[in-house]
């Protein structure tokens, strides 16, 4: 199907996607130079970069193709249609929602558009602990620059920083924490505040409106609703990928793509599961281990005045020492999304307390926390079911506390009269002088906090030593000669900052390594 | 949305209460909608209604009356989107909550049959209970919130704008132009 919007905008690149209903019941057999599994941040960049070099590329995407003119600016509808497991992907404990996009463009379609480069301290740690000397800030800089230019990445302009963002910056500055307008991949933002439901007017430069149409224009074949399942393997090579395209009426159609080069970019949950299901590439025993996810919490601060934190860009400003993630650093990002999310992020109480809380929500300043968590989780198959084992480690809980303490201090400094914490039963800080006693009283435990992860990472660890890592410094699997993994699963440790720019940069870098080797 | 409760957690509750397997109605009574979607049972509907009554009392406030929002129908739809094993766990959780008032709540009737005051008291006890109880009460709250706040007018009553781009006539920028790049060589 060709994107419906292109008729109105004929001079722009066209995204052509083959839908399952266009595939005959007997299935499809394709031959290509490159087959790419996943059309998100890593899959899309790789598809374009390799198509540019003249390669014949086929992209298989499990999720549907939903053109932006069908986005509803309504979070529950978006969760239902654009997210993995309709937004119900959880850790095994059941107290952490792990959100990922599942559609053409992957998580980039539903993300909040924040773009930071991987902190230098993290890259130095990757070099010293994982032998990745090739990934210094200097070496990656040209790749980041290329992506930043392509995706229009720039710090929010003054009109893109709403009152909520200005309150965060003001509070942070008063207590001496670095803060500023957040860089985003948005062109002429329409300030709808609906990033996480997909950008209806194509201002967010997601893969849906950038690298995928560009790859398509260069001849790449892109299939939606087509889940890669089985690898045919011979002599340390994947020779073909078998997939199932599933029609709207549930008919399963077999798709087989033979290719000389295989790129697995299904994201940090599905990529390791594919390898596990096919029992390949795991001589290190590391596949699925080292899962990290930046467990995130929201904090609200109630003001006398109306703040309308949801009016304007989704994320407007940030605060925190992002250059020092390894020393308990945290990041706060100012943003709030409609009432479904507001009521899911913070427990406002029961009965009249809850009603009162929701009625006052326009007076709340709001931000979400990010921390540099340790890679303590695991993704694995229990029979045919995926399991994501992850609970906040006690070491990381200290960072969580610091992030909440920092937020509370900033909010009171900016004039808040009460702070709401993301505990599973209504918990507030009513006076600045109570911050330490309340925060110090918080304990790590199951079902204690309203946790969400937007950033799964780390399950296909990159490293120089094949005994300790799955993927080599150039992105190629240690055990397989023609298989590369460029997605968020290869990060050997978590970033602290939002990962998309690092994924784009790494995928560009890995594409260059592939081309240099070809 | 966090909607899952781990099987092991329930096993722990089984140990805790002992009698649960006998007293809880069988899960096999679960109703399935003809078109393959999921139907809530009468008990589940009643539980949601009674929970919502005390959790989100809209009467006499500026909120959109709960009776004008099909909260439970919305929840039924959400059930239809859950994977079978998750749905099963959620349903067991709801039953434990409903009948837990008999088992561990020291009341002689289901949650749905308690007075408003007793229901509030019961929810508070579960909020302060063990992880499994906190988890189940959290699921119930989130389901009610999802069911109610997805109504666009309910959001507008508290100042939220809802969808804006179409109403505001904001035009699409379309796909981005292909970048010009001098070289195809690796950096
Ligand atoms: C709500 C939300 C907000 C976010 N906000 C930000 C932000 O502001 N800034 C930021 O930097 N990051 C953000 N992120 C994270 C960021 O988008 C991801 O880190 C990034 O997209 C990861 O890239 P990826 O290529 O690893 O995976 P994805 O982009 O998730 O792409 C993986 C794709 O593979 C597909 N797939 C999976 N299995 C198969 C299979 N078997 N066969 C075929 N296809 C398959 C999936 O459907 C998916 O489309 C956010 C994420 C979410 C969910």
At A62, list the tokens: 């499990």
Residue B137 lies inside a defined structural domain of this protein: yes
Q: Report CA(B30)–ligand 1 centroid distance (Å).
A: 35
What's the Cα-to-Cα distance from A68 to each of A135, B78, B180, rounded to whole Å?
35, 23, 25
Which residues in A lie closer than 8 A to residue B126 (C-beta atoms)?
A: none
Count up the domains in chain A and report the number.
2
Which residues in A lie closer than 8 A to residue B177 (C-beta atoms)?
A: 12-13
Count up the domains in chain B and report the number.
1
Q: Which of A406, A421, A450 is the last residue of a domain?
A: A450
At B105, list the tokens: 């709540």
* B163–A73 C-beta distance less than 8 A: yes
Residue A196 lies inside a defined structural domain of this protein: no
User: Nearest CA to A438 among A421, A413, A416?
Assistant: A421
pLDDT value for B3: 36
Residue B13 lies inside a defined structural domain of this protein: yes
Q: Are A143 and B187 in contact (CB under 8 A)?
A: yes
pLDDT value for A9: 63
pLDDT at B183 over 80: no
Q: Are A19 and A103 in contact (CB under 8 A)?
A: no
Bridge-partner residues for A371, per DSSP? A330
Residues A340 and A416 in one domain: yes
Residue B55 lies inside a defined structural domain of this protein: yes
Residue A1 lies inside a defined structural domain of this protein: no
Task: Assign 3-state DSSP to chain B and report helix, strand, coil percentages, each to 5.
Answer: 55, 0, 45
Rounded distance between C-alpha atoms, residue A405 and residue A35, angstroms:
47
pLDDT value for A376: 98
Residue B127, C-beta contacts closer than 8 angstroms, at least 6 positions apart: A350, A424, A425, B133, B134, B137
Which range marks the domain in which residue B98 is found? Answer: 8-152
Percentage of residues of chain B with pLDDT beyond 70: 77
Residues A213 and A324 in one domain: no
User: Nearest CA to A503 among A492, A491, A514?
Assistant: A491
Q: Report CA(A21)–ligand 1 centroid distance (Å).
A: 25
The dihedral sign for the CA sequence A29, A31, A32, A35: positive
Rounded distance between C-alpha atoms, residue A183 and residue A212, angstroms:
22
B30 — pLDDT class (breaks 50, 70, 90): very low
In this structure, the residue with its CA closest to atom 31 of ligand 1 is: A40
Q: Are A473 and A10 in contact (CB under 8 A)?
A: no
Residues A409 and A304 in one domain: yes
Residue A381 lies inside a defined structural domain of this protein: no
Task: Report residue A447: phi and psi, to 5°.
Answer: 55, 35
B21 — pLDDT class (breaks 50, 70, 90): very low
B105 — pLDDT class (breaks 50, 70, 90): low
Q: Rounded to the nearest 5 degrees, what angle is found at the Cα of A455, between the Cα atoms of A451 and A459?
A: 110
In this structure, the residue with its CA closest to atom 1 of ligand 1 is: A111
At A73, list the tokens: 């600016």
Residues A159 and A146 in one domain: no
Residues A481 and A332 in one domain: no
At A240, list the tokens: 């073909």
The whole-angstrom distance between A490's CA and the closest CA on chain B is 21
Q: What's chain A's average pLDDT?
A: 96
Q: Are A347 and A423 in contact (CB under 8 A)?
A: yes
In this structure, the residue with its CA closest to atom 30 of ligand 1 is: A107
Rounded distance between C-alpha atoms, residue B50 and residue B45, angstroms:
9
Which residues in A lie closer than 8 A to residue B152 (C-beta atoms)?
A: 74
Tell whether B103 is within 8 A of chain A (Cβ).
no
At A515, list the tokens: 């081309």
Residues A143 and A252 in one domain: yes
Q: Are A505 and A486 in contact (CB under 8 A)?
A: no
Please report where in the chains the tokens 């509030």 appear, as a residue.
B120
Residue B175 lies inside a defined structural domain of this protein: no
| CATH number of the domain bearing residue A473 | 3.50.50.60
pLDDT value for B107: 73
Residue B98 lies inside a defined structural domain of this protein: yes
In this structure, the residue with its CA closest to atom 16 of ligand 1 is: A500
CB pairs under 8 A between A and B: 203
Bridge-partner residues for B173, per DSSP? none
Residue A454 Cβ inside 6 Å of ligand 1? The answer reads yes
What is the CA A240 to chain-centroid distance, rounded?
Answer: 28
Residue B62 lies inside a defined structural domain of this protein: yes
The whole-angstrom distance between B154's CA and the closest CA on chain A is 9
Burial class (CB in 10 A: 0-12, 13-18, 19+), B15: exposed
Residues A302 and A281 in one domain: no
Residue of chain B nearest A187, judged by CA positions: B173
Rounded distance between C-alpha atoms, residue B149 and residue A76, angstroms:
9
Tell whether B177 is within 8 A of chain A (Cβ).
yes
pLDDT value for A362: 97
Residue B3 lies inside a defined structural domain of this protein: no
B181 — pLDDT class (breaks 50, 70, 90): confident
Of A73, A149, A217, the CB nearest to B165: A73
Residue A3 lies inside a defined structural domain of this protein: no
pLDDT value for B19: 36
Residues A220 and A355 in one domain: no
3-class secondary structure for A397-423? HHHHHHHHHHHHHHHHHCCCCEEEECE
Q: Are A83 and A99 in contact (CB under 8 A)?
A: yes
Residue B176 lies inside a defined structural domain of this protein: no
Q: Which atom of ligand 1 is nearest to the CA of A333?
A: 8
Q: Which of A402, A432, A450 is the last residue of a domain?
A: A450
Q: What's chain B's average pLDDT?
A: 83
Rounded distance between C-alpha atoms, residue B131 and residue A324, angstroms:
34
Residues A225 and A330 in one domain: no
Q: Are A173 and A48 in contact (CB under 8 A)?
A: no
Residue A201 lies inside a defined structural domain of this protein: no
Residue of chain B nearest A77, judged by CA positions: B150
Tens of pLDDT along chain A (518 residues) come to 666 665 566 678 999 999 999 999 999 999 999 999 999 999 999 999 999 999 999 999 999 999 999 999 999 999 999 999 999 999 999 999 999 999 999 999 999 999 999 999 999 999 999 999 999 999 999 999 999 999 999 999 999 999 999 999 999 999 999 999 999 999 999 999 999 999 999 999 999 999 999 999 999 999 999 999 999 999 999 999 999 999 988 999 999 999 999 999 999 999 999 999 999 999 999 999 999 999 999 999 999 999 999 999 999 999 999 988 888 889 999 999 999 999 999 999 999 999 999 999 999 999 999 999 999 999 999 999 999 999 999 999 999 999 999 999 999 999 999 999 999 999 999 999 999 999 999 999 999 999 999 999 999 999 999 999 999 999 999 999 999 999 999 999 999 999 999 999 999 999 999 999 98
Q: What is the mean pLDDT of residues B179-183?
A: 78
User: Nearest CA to B52 among A354, A340, A424, A342?
Assistant: A354
SS3 A186: strand
- Reported ipTM exceeds the 0.90 cut: yes
Residue A23 lies inside a defined structural domain of this protein: yes
* A80–B155 C-beta distance less than 8 A: no
* A201–B172 C-beta distance less than 8 A: yes
pLDDT at B16 over 60: no
Looking only at the bridges linking them, the beta strands covering A427-429 and A418-421 are antiparallel
pLDDT at B10 over 70: no
Rounded distance between C-alpha atoms, residue A217 and residue A403, angstroms:
44
The more confidently predicted of residues A322 and B108 is A322
pLDDT at B138 over 90: yes
The whole-angstrom distance between A190's CA and the closest CA on chain B is 7
* B175–A209 C-beta distance less than 8 A: yes
Q: Which of A450, A479, A497 is the last residue of a domain?
A: A450
Which range marks the domain in which residue A83 is found? Answer: 18-93+101-111+116-150+206-287+458-517
Residues A235 and A263 in one domain: yes
Q: Are A486 and A506 in contact (CB under 8 A)?
A: yes
User: Nearest CA to A325 among A373, A376, A395?
Assistant: A373
pLDDT value for A484: 98
Q: Are A183 and A156 in contact (CB under 8 A)?
A: yes
| CATH number of the domain bearing residue A352 | 3.30.410
């Amino acid at each position: 199907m060709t994107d419906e919007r292109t008729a109105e905008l004929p001079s722009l690149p066209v995204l052509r996607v083959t839908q399952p209903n266009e595939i005959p019941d007997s299935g499809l057999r394709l031959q290509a130079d490159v087959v790419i599994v996943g059309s998100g941040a890593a899959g899309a960049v790789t598809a374009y970069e390799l198509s540019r070099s003249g390669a014949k590329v086929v992209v298989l995407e499990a999720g549907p193709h939903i053109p932006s003119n069908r986005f509803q600016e309504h979070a529950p509808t978006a969760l239902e249609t654009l997210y993995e497991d309709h937004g119900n992907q959880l850790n095994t404990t059941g107290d952490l929602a792990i959100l990922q996009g599942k559609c053409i463009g992957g998580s980039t379609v539903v993300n909040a558009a924040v773009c930071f480069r991987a902190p230098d301290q993290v890259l130095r740690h990757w070099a010293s602990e994982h032998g990745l000397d090739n990934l210094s800030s200097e070496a990656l800089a040209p790749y980041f620059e290329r992506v930043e230019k392509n995706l229009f990445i720039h710090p929010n302009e003054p009109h893109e920083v709403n009152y909520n963002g200005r309150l965060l910056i003001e509070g942070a500055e008063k207590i001496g924490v670095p803060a500023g307008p957040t860089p985003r991949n948005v062109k002429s933002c329409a300030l709808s505040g609906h990033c996480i439901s997909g950008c209806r007017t194509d201002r967010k430069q997601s893969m849906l409106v950038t690298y995928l149409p560009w790859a398509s224009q260069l001849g790449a074949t892109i299939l939606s609703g087509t889940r890669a399942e089985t690898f045919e393997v011979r002599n340390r090579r994947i020779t073909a990928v078998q997939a199932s395209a599933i029609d709207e009426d549930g008919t399963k159609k077999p798709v087989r793509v033979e290719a000389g080069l295989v790129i697995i970019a299904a994201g940090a949950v599905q990529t390791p599961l594919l390898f596990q299901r096919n029992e390949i590439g795991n001589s290190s025993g590391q596949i699925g281990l080292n899962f990290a996810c930046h467990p995130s919490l929201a904090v609200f601060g109630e003001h006398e005045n109306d703040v309308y934190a949801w009016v304007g860009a989704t994320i407007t400003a940030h605060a925190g020492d992002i250059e020092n993630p390894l020393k308990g650093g945290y990041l706060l990002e100012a943003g709030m999304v409609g009432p479904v999310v507001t009521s899911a992020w913070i427990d406002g109480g029961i009965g009249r307390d809850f009603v009162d809380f929701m009625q006052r929500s326009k007076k709340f300043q709001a931000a979400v926390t990010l921390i540099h968590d340790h890679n303590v989780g695991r993704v694995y198959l229990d029979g045919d079911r995926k399991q994501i084992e992850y609970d906040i480690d006690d070491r990381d809980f200290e960072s969580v506390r610091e992030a909440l303490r920092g937020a509370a201090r900033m909010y009171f400094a900016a004039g808040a009269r009460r702070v709401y914490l993301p505990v599973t039963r209504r918990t507030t800080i009513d006076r600045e002088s109570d911050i330490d006693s309340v925060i110090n009283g918080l304990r790590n435990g199951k079902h204690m906090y309203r946790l969400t992860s937007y950033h799964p990472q780390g399950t296909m660890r990159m490293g120089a030593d094949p005994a300790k890592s799955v993927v080599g410094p150039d992105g190629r699997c240690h055990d397989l000669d023609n298989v590369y993994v460029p997605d968020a699963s290869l990060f050997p440790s978590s970033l602290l900052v939002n990962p998309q720019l690092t994924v784009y940069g790494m995928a560009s870098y890995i594409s260059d390594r592939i081309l240099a080797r070809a | 949305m966090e909607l899952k409760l781990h099987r092991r957690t329930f096993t722990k509750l089984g140990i805790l209460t002992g009698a649960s397997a006998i007293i809880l109605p069988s899960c096999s009574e679960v109703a399935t909608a003809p078109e393959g979607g999921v139907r809530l049972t009468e008990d589940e509907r009643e539980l949601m209604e009674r929970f919502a009554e005390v959790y989100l009392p809209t009467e006499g406030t500026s909120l959109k009356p709960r009776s004008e929002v099909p909260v439970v129908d919305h929840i039924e739809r959400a059930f239809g989107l859950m994977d079978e094993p998750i749905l099963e766990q959620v349903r067991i959780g709801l039953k434990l909550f409903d009948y837990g008032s008999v088992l561990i709540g020291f009341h002689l009737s289901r949650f749905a049959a308690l007075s408003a005051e007793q229901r509030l008291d019961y929810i508070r006890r579960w909020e302060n209970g063990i992880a499994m109880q906190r988890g189940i009460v959290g699921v119930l709250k989130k389901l009610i919130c999802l069911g109610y706040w997805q109504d666009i007018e309910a959001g507008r009553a508290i100042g939220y704008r809802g969808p804006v781009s179409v109403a505001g006539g904001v035009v699409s920028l379309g796909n981005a132009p292909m970048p010009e790049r001098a070289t195809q060589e690796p950096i």
